[in-house]
A and B are shown apart, each in its own frame.
Chain A
Amino acid sequence: MSGASTSVVEMATDSVLDITNLDLHYGSSHVLHQVNLSVSHKPLSILGRNGMGKTSLCQAIMGLHRHSAGNIRFCGREIGAMPPEQRAQAGLAYVPQGRRVFRSLTVDEHLQIVERSGAAWNRERVYDTFPRLAERRRNLGDRLSGGEQQMLAISRALLLNPRLILLDEPTEGLAPTIVDDVVTLITNIVEEGIAVVLVEQNMHAALQAVDEVAIMVGGQVVDVLPSEQLASDSELQNHYLGLDLVNN
């Protein structure tokens, strides 16, 4: 236990994920421009309006879309040339926008295929943490409610026992009470020592969960600032995110 705590301290000084000068194209359209971002063990949120390139950035980090230029370093290793499965094996977990649970797998099967024996997170622990999933373990993925699907998507990622979890809009479309549950859950994950990148449109949820905020505008990271600063500065909020988001 003491060993673990020292390593956390050690890592806290190091960055987990380093993105430098990342470019991404979809065919002829240039989606990401020279993105630079460094993620340490402090939870970070990427905020931005719709269409600013947040999901594209997630997919580039996961390797689901190949970037055209730039570097992605993860735990000191360049992963830019790796296929997604190797990035996952290296300790990167992804909770995608829209959850993307498998519609023809039961809850239990979702967890079973990812579970590795002897790891810190296993099926038992998931069911302890989310009794609701235990109740629904025989249900197919597409028979779950939005909140349950989100629980499942996050559990699935946790079973990989990752070093970093990338969550793409986990609160989208959820009822306010469920949003609070998700925020609590993210806070718990952070306490586990897992690095968190939270991509959000919902600023209030994001600000509750993270320490640092990166702002994306037009396919670029334009600013990185402590969450308190953004929380207290409504002008800044308006400037970067627009009223619609702030009132959300």
Chain B
Amino acid sequence: MKAGFLALPLIALPFVLNDFWLTQIATRALILGITALSLSFLATYLGVVSFAQITLAGIAGYTIAYFGPNTVGVGIKLPFWVSIPAALLFSVTAGALIGYIARRSRGIYAIMITLAIGVAFFYFTRQNYAVFNGWTGFSGITAPVVAGTSLRDPSTLYFLSLATAAIAVVLVSLFARAPLGLAIQAVRDAPSRVMALGIPVTTPVVAAFAFSGLIAGGGGILNVWYQERISSFSVGLGPIIDVLIIAVIGGLRHPLGAFLGAIVFVLLDTFAVDLIDRDRFNTLIGMVLLIIVMVAPNGLQQLAADAVAKLRAKEHQSGKSARIKTNT
């Protein structure tokens, strides 16, 4: 009932929005939301804020670019049904590797080691021409054509992103309830106790990062189809911070927070220039961000949930009092 309440308008969107709103706003928000979800998943269930999620998305994106059609003459062209699994495989493997490197880091130190990994990857892609084509990166990437329809077609890409987002949300909830997911949460709550029980901490941490790599990889593939290009800039500090902003303003406690944060971010990023003197839009973005951080400590999702709860309580109250009145 609740899912339907959410799904119906989302499915109806392509029929009411023009291409700009559908692709540049809705699809872009979904794609960013998927990558941000991989961050909020780690934050919520493992208690680790990872700045390396853009790196994982980027690894998947670069794989698609390298093994797909592009206009820079780098890479080997493979059919998409090979390159897509390869992209996910790489992002999952990279996730596992990052998890292994960061397995002992907590709190601020985990943020820093993942940031270092992210920035190192960024500089590597910028300097390496053989695989990543350096500064310029890959352009002219086209999404696969399936049954005569390009996956980059606005409605198709939207539905594809929506489906991926839905699957990611479901996977996160399933994973959280699976034995491995429970072990991860135990690590979050008391790593030393888990170790005392004789359970190695490494396995759950690596698994959690690998799983986040799967989700981020999905976002990365969609992103490279959406952008039709990828370069060192796509994995730089800017996108890294964008995804963090999205996850945190949306709220880390609920999978839907990432998407709420993404839509707010995309709207702000796109329209800030229209709302204020075109030269000072960054000030506006910064201010809005600051206000959200200050008034919504647990993110917009929590803020919205509280508002709904309050509204319900009020309704409930007035309903009750009405009933009492009729009774008397």
Question: Direct contact between A and B in the complex (CB less than 8 angstroms)?
Answer: no
Taking Cβ atoms with an 8 Å cutoff, the residues of A that contact B are none
